[in-house]
Amino acid sequence: MKTIVILISGRGSNMEAIVRTCAAERWKARIAAVVSNRPDAAGLVFAQAHGIATAVVDHKAFAERDEFDAALADVVAGYAPDVVVLAGFMRILSPAFVKRFEGRLVNIHPSLLPAFTGLHTHQRAIAAGCKLTGATVHFVTTELDHGPIIAQAVEPVLPGDTEATLSARLLAREHVLYPLAVRWIVEDSLRVNDGIVTHLSGEPQLIL
């Protein structure tokens, strides 16, 4: 039985998708905790309603980023996670945090990395005239929004798309992509060689 800890900052819809899929597909895993840096994160309510332990490490209570990261890392480590899932977690984590969980720390980013690292990805894809965008699940390294790519989902950019319309369609793809990628980790189906992630049974790592 693998142990998963999910970090959120807000809505938590990706966390919800992972919780629901873990139960529906009977993964050999349990969501040990949902941890937020914001006490008012809406996702905490869903987690509590589903009997999942929650914790808040409020970044505003710490003067220094490193102190916050160390406190957060201790809370996360307390659950002895096999997988640490960043699901809309909006704080940049220090190298010390990343190193502590490297290899079992994953993130979802709403672009086809390495394009559009950082924020406002949908607006930037629309402004650049992209005809296609997507989402990426990747192992987290010390470089922001980089790290070995586990899986990607693509979504066309349609004429007249706004940030709201595009992000809503892409979010629905994220809710399929992220649980799939986390399941592969739980099943120990992935290998990383020279920064390239392959699925041992050749499962498609691209959702069209």
Binding site for ligand GRF (CB under 6 A): 8, 10-14, 87-88, 108-110, 135, 171, 174
In the complex, the smallest distance separating the C-beta of residue 134 from ligand GRF, rounded to whole angstroms, is 10
CA distances from 208 to 22, 64, 172, 177, 189 (A): 23, 42, 13, 11, 21
- Catalytic annotation, residues: 109
* Residue 191 parent element (H or E): strand 190-193
In the complex, the smallest distance separating the C-beta of residue 75 from ligand GRF, rounded to whole angstroms, is 19
Q: Read off the tokens for 77.
A: 């480590």
In the complex, the smallest distance separating the C-beta of residue 201 from ligand GRF, rounded to whole angstroms, is 26
Find the largest Cα–Cα distance for the chain: 48
109 and 145 Cβ atoms separated by less than 8 Å: yes
Which CB, 75 or 171, lies closer to ligand GRF? 171
Which CB, 69 or 174, lies closer to ligand GRF? 174
Which CB, 137 or 185, lies closer to ligand GRF? 137
Q: In 119-207, which ranges are continuous DSSP H helix?
A: 121-127, 163-186
